[in-house]
Chain A
Amino acid sequence: MINRSLMLKLLSGLIVFGAWEIAGRVPISYAFPTFLESMAALARMTFDGTIFVAYGETLRPLVVGVAISAVFGIGIGLWIGLSKQFEWLFSPIFIVMQAAPLAALIPILVMIYGIGLTSKVFVVCIMAMPVIVLNTASAVRNTPVSLKEMATSFLAADRDVLLKIILPAASPVIFSGLRLGVSAGFIGAILSELKITPTGVGDIITYSRSIADYPSMYAAIFSIILLAVLFLNLLEKLENILFEGNNRGYVSD
């Protein structure tokens, strides 16, 4: 069975990359390189170290922003989920944040915080935080009542109910919020490098495009997608290790 699922993954990779290769060879546009050209460019950038320098630059706002969003997002989400007052106070802010067109807000951020790291971290947070907050809040609010009653009847303190019932029960939805938040954070990090100042991977994309080195541009885009997918898989592994019984859903009847 494991071999079969691995086969299917390889097959779907083959189809996608094959289609890319063919589309590049036709070619559908002069600005669209083949898969092999892009991979060659990626290998070249990997061996001369450009890509690592670029990620050193890009990952800084990304990691800082995602870390802030995860910690504060889950914290604020818990608070909103537990208290009706805080729901009234905070919930609208995050709904507006989620709906706002980020590109339009970037000039305001640059005016306030300049073109440095702070603005970029802000962009990542604005992208990542709302979905983490809103998912956490709704997960906490939907904790099964009978589990909370069970803990109370067995003499759980409020702290025990929070740590041993509400958090583990909410963890599947919190983690799905984290996954969405992290992928939005990746978008935010690249967007900030394209819109604020071209650094890191955003710089490779902008620069290669300006000198018509399309294979390098697509290689950079491909690498960021690859990194995002790897990171999301890692997050899923972490969840399965932390809450083993949860991955097959709830048992109530």
Chain B
Amino acid sequence: MSQIKPDARQAIPATDSAVSVRNVSKVYGDVQALKDLTLDFPRGELTSLLGPSGCGKTTLLKIIAGLLPATSGEVLINGRAVTGPGPDRSFVFQDFALMPWATVLRNVAFGLELRGVAKSEREAVAEKYIAAVGLAGFEQKYPHQLSGGMRQRVGLARALSVKAEVLLLDEPFSAVDEQTRRKFQEDMLELVQNEKKTFIFVTHSIEEAVYVSDQIAILLPRPSRVSEIIRPASFRDKGVANIRRDPEYLDIVDRIWASLRNYVE
């Protein structure tokens, strides 16, 4: 067996990354949004992109999603360069992006519908994920009948149901209230544990980033670059209830604020 593909085995790097961003720049007209940005996203972990507004974190996420072309540089997913949206990635939108004319069931199954999966099959998958995000019983409701938090659960179920390897979340909890948000953050930790996917999470909340992330990339603006990568070490296994009073958690939150405060106007 070992003789068959010696090259492939050699190519696997020491730390296995699902997504690699290599020297990516993005220019809008005469505005340089991203400059020569390089970043690795380890497989099976949650990486946050954190930074002040205007630092290009959403732009970077959309380039990884294939929704925006990079001006130069490349994004590799499992070693393959991104040229557009692909079945290996799915996206959770800040404003939910639910179709108001479709039921929860059809919204969740929409990704599979576009892939040509048969109706009965895709609805079975959708029902499973609707239950997984805690919305069982709401399959036939329309988005306007749901609260903000429930709408984002629909968005999450839609992203999970296409079984993509990489989940891209663009400030998913910024439009829901504080209490719902805390519940979401706890659910996120569980999801990362259970789903074995790579999560890329854009947020502007320092506490949120430290709470949910295995790795935090701090982006600084104008033009955007990675200033620091922080990997919290000790508090992840202490249980969701204890994280917020762990000394390392508090230290990291303080440290990030110290480096970001000069960039907030």
Contact = CB atoms under 8 A, between A and B. Distances in A.
Given A155-B86, A155-B87, A245 B144 contact: yes
B144 A152 contact: no
Interface in B95-125: 95-103, 110-111, 113-115
A5 interface: no
B93 A165 contact: no
15 contacts: A150-B91, A154-B111, A154-B114, A154-B158, A155-B85, A155-B86, A164-B113, A165-B99, A169-B99, A245-B102, A245-B103, A245-B144, A248-B100, A251-B96, A251-B100
Interface in B77-99: 85-87, 89-91, 93-99
Contacts of A147: 97, 99
Interface in A166-194: 168-169, 171
Given A154-B110, A155-B115, A168 B93 contact: no
A194 B158 CA distance: 58
B91 A153 contact: yes
A156 B114 contact: yes
Nearest to A246: B101
A249 B100 contact: yes
A150 B95 CA distance: 11
B111 A149 contact: no
B229 interface: no
Interface string A139-158: 00000101101111111110
A160 B98 CA distance: 16
Nearest to A156: B114
A245 B142 contact: yes
Contacts of A156: 114
Contact of A152 (B67, B87, B100, B115): B67
A103 to B, nearest CB: 40
Interface size class of A (residues with CB under 8 A): 20 to 34
B97 A150 contact: yes
Interface of B: 65-67, 85-87, 89-91, 93-103, 110-111, 113-115, 142-144, 148, 151, 158, 162, 175
Given A249-B144, A251-B151, A160 B114 contact: yes
A150 B151 CA distance: 15
A252 B97 CA distance: 7
A48 interface: no
Interface string A46-73: 0000000000000000000000000000
Contact of A146 (B93, B113, B142): B93
A149 B97 contact: yes
A249 B143 CA distance: 10
A187 B183 CA distance: 58
B67 A245 contact: no
Contacts of B99: 147, 165, 168-169, 245
Contact of A245 (B96, B101, B115): B101
Interface in A237-253: 243-246, 248-253
B59 to A, nearest CB: 13
Contacts of B113: 164
Contacts of B115: 155
B67 A149 contact: yes
Interface string A72-88: 00000000000000000
A35 to B, nearest CB: 42
A154 B151 CA distance: 18
Given A151-B110, A153-B65, 19 more contacts: A146-B97, A149-B91, A153-B66, A154-B110, A154-B111, A154-B158, A156-B114, A157-B114, A164-B110, A164-B114, A244-B101, A245-B142, A248-B100, A248-B144, A251-B96, A251-B100, A251-B143, A251-B151, A252-B95
Interface string A221-246: 00000000000000000000001111
Contacts of A168: 99, 101
Contacts of B89: 153
A157 B5 CA distance: 36
A246 B103 CA distance: 11
Contacts of A245: 99-103, 142-144
Given A149-B93, A152-B67, A253 B148 contact: yes
A88 to B, nearest CB: 23
B224 to A, nearest CB: 20
A243 B101 contact: yes
Contacts of A249: 100, 144
A153 B85 contact: yes
A153 B64 CA distance: 11
Given A168-B101, A249-B100, A151 B114 contact: yes
A150 B96 CA distance: 9
Nearest to A172: B101
